[in-house]
C-alpha cells in the first residue's frame, strides 16, 4: 500500500541521518578517550588507529538500536503533528496498521544487530584486549613516547626521552627517576641504547651522564658521573590472553561454559536485537502528539521510557552476574514488561477509555 511504502521510506531517510549523527558522536568520544590513553602510556600510539576503529565497531549495535527507535519516533511524530495521521485514520487505517511497515524496516536491522553482537563485537573486543596486553607486556623504555613522562609498570620508575629511534633502539636526552623505599635516584644522560643479552635480559645502556642519589627528606645527595651505565628493564613475561574479560569470549564458548558471568554477557548480547524491535514498537504509540500538552511532551516521555528500559536490561545482567536472578527469568523479564507496556499503549491509543469500558460492560452483561 502507498502509506506503507511512504512510512518505510521516511523511516529509512531518518535512520540515515540519525545514524550519522550518533556515529560521529561515539567516534569522537572514543577518539578523545584513546588519545588520552595513548598520552598516558596505556595504549601504543602505533595501534591507535586500529583500536579506535575496533572500539567504534563494538558500539555500532547500540547505535543501531537507538537509530531505529529515534527514526521511527521522528517519522510518526511528524505524521501526527502535521495531521497526516488524521487522514490515514479517516481512510480506515488504525494505529495497528503501522506495525507491519515498522517491522519491515526494523527486523533486517535487528538481524544486523544480532550478527554484530554475537560475532563481530566479541572478535573486536578480543583484538583490542590483545593489543592492550601486548603493549603492557613490553619493557618500560619500549612504551616511551618522545617528549612525555612515562611511568613504569611497577610504578617505581619514571622515564623521559627527547628522541627515540625504535628500530635502532637508540634514545637521546634521557631522564630516569627511581625510588626504592626511602632511597631516591635520578639519572640523566645524553644518549643511550637498548641491548639484549644472551639470557634474554634487556638493558638500557646510558652514556655520558650523571646519577644523583640520596634519601627522601635529606638535603644531601651523592653525585656520580659515568661514561657507561646500564639499567635493567623489567619486562613482564608474555602471556596469552585469558578469557577473564567476558566481552572477548566468543558466543559459542559462552553457551558451553555457562557460568554466572558468562550468562550475564550472553544476556546482554541477546538483549540488543530484542531491545531494538521492542523499542521500535514502543515508538509507534509514543509518537502520538497531544497539542494540549505540547509537541515535545511525547519525545520526553519516549526518551525516559527508553532509558528506563535500557537500564533495566543492564540491571538484569548485573543480577545474573551476581547470581541474584536466574538467567531464564532475566532473559525475558525486562523485554516482557516493555512489550506489555507497548500493547497497553496501543490499546489506549486505538480505543478510548469510554469504548473499552462499554465493551467490558457489554461483555459482562452478556454473561
Domain ranges in the chain are 2-135+242-360, 143-232
Label residue 304 exposed, middle or buried (CB < 10 Å: 0-12, 13-18, 19+).
exposed
| Cell 619486562 found at | 235
Distance separating alpha carbons of residues 213 and 82, to the nearest angstrom: 79
- Here the cell at position 210 is 650523571
Query: What are the phi and psi torsion angles at 224 (to 5°)?
Result: -120, 130
User: Which has the closest alpha carbon to 273: 77, 103, 31, 20?
Assistant: 103
Buried b (16+ CB within 10 A) or exposed e, 239-269: eeeebebbbbbebeebeeeeebbbbbbbbbb
- What integer pLDDT is reported at residue 106 of this predicted model? 95
pTM of the complete model: 0.75
What's the Cα-to-Cα distance from 254 to each of 118, 127, 128, 246, 305, rounded to whole Å?
10, 18, 19, 9, 30
Q: How far is CA 18 from the centre of its chain?
A: 18
Instruction: End-to-end CA distance of the chain: give it in Å, rounded.
Output: 40
User: Which has the closest alpha carbon to 110: 310, 313, 274, 251?
Assistant: 274
- Strand intervals (E) in the chain: 150-151, 157-165, 170-180, 183-196, 202-215, 221-232
Enclosing H/E stretch for 324: none
The sheet carrying 221-232 orders its strands as 150-151, 157-165, 170-180, 183-196, 202-215, 221-232
- Here the cell at position 294 is 505540547
Using left for φ > 0, alpha for ψ between -120 and 50, and beta otherwise, residue 162 falls in alpha
- Find all residues with CB under 8 Å of 177, minimum gap 6, and list them: 157, 158, 184, 185, 186, 187
- What integer pLDDT is reported at residue 337 of this predicted model? 94
- Find all residues with CB under 8 Å of 51, minimum gap 6, and list them: 34, 43, 128, 131, 132
Distance separating alpha carbons of residues 173 and 164, to the nearest angstrom: 9
pLDDT tens digits, the chain, 367 residues: what are they? 666 787 888 899 999 999 999 999 999 999 999 988 887 767 877 888 999 999 999 999 999 999 999 999 998 888 777 776 666 666 666 778 888 889 999 999 999 999 999 999 999 999 998 888 777 666 555 556 677 777 765 557 787 888 777 666 688 888 888 887 778 888 888 888 877 777 767 777 888 888 888 886 677 778 888 888 887 766 555 444 444 478 888 899 888 888 888 998 999 999 999 999 999 999 998 887 665 666 677 788 888 999 999 999 999 999 998 889 998 998 999 999 999 999 988 888 777 544 444 544 454 444 4
Q: How many CA atoms lie within 13 A of 330 on its CB side?
A: 26
Amino acid at each position: 500500500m502507498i502509506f506503507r511504502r511512504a512510512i518505510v521510506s521516511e523511516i529509512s531517510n531518518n535512520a540515515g541521518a540519525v545514524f550519522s549523527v550518533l556515529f560521529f558522536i561515539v567516534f569522537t568520544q572514543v577518539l578523545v578517550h584513546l588519545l588520552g590513553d595513548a598520552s598516558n602510556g596505556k595504549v601504543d600510539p602505533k595501534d591507535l588507529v586500529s583500536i579506535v576503529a575496533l572500539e567504534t565497531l563494538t558500539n555500532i549495535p547500540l547505535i543501531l538500536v537507538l537509530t531505529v527507535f529515534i527514526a521511527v519516533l521522528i517519522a510518526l511524530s511528524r505524521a501526527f503533528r502535521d495531521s497526516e495521521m488524521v487522514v490515514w485514520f479517516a481512510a480506515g487505517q488504525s494505529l495497528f496498521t503501522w506495525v507491519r511497515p515498522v517491522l519491515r524496516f526494523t527486523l533486517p536491522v535487528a538481524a544486523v544487530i544480532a550478527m554484530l553482537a554475537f560475532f563481530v563485537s566479541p572478535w573486536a573486543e578480543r583484538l583490542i584486549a590483545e593489543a592492550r596486553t601486548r603493549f603492557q607486556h613490553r619493557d618500560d623504555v619500549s612504551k616511551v613516547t618522545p617528549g612525555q613522562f612515562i611511568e613504569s609498570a611497577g610504578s617505581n620508575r619514571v622515564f623521559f626521552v627527547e628522541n627515540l629511534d625504535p628500530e635502532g633502539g637508540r634514545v637521546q636526552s634521557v631522564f630516569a627517576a627511581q625510588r626504592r623505599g626511602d632511597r631516591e635516584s635520578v639519572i640523566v644522560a645524553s644518549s643511550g641504547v637498548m641491548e639484549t643479552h644472551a639470557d634474554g635480559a634487556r638493558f638500557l645502556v646510558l652514556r655520558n651522564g650523571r646519577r644523583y642519589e640520596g634519601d627522601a627528606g635529606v638535603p644531601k645527595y651523592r653525585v656520580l658521573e659515568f661514561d657507561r651505565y646500564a639499567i635493567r628493564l623489567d619486562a613482564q613475561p608474555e602471556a596469552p590472553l585469558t578469557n577473564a574479560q567476558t566481552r572477548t569470549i566468543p558466543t559459542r564458548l559462552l553457551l558451553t561454559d555457562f557460568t554466572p558471568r558468562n550468562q550475564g554477557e550472553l544476556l546482554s548480547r541477546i538483549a540488543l536485537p530484542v531491545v531494538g524491535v521492542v523499542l521500535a514498537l514502543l515508538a509507534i504509540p509514543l509518537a502520538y502528539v497531544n497539542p494540549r500538552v505540547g509537541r515535545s511532551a511525547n519525545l520526553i516521555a519516549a526518551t525516559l521510557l527508553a532509558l528506563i528500559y535500557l537500564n533495566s536490561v543492564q540491571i538484569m545482567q548485573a543480577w545474573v552476574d551476581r547470581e541474584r536472578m536466574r538467567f531464564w527469568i532475566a532473559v525475558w523479564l525486562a523485554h516482557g514488561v516493555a512489550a506489555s507496556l507497548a500493547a497497553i499503549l496501543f490499546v489506549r491509543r486505538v480505543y478510548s477509555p469510554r469504548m473499552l469500558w462499554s465493551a467490558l460492560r457489554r461483555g459482562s452483561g452478556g454473561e
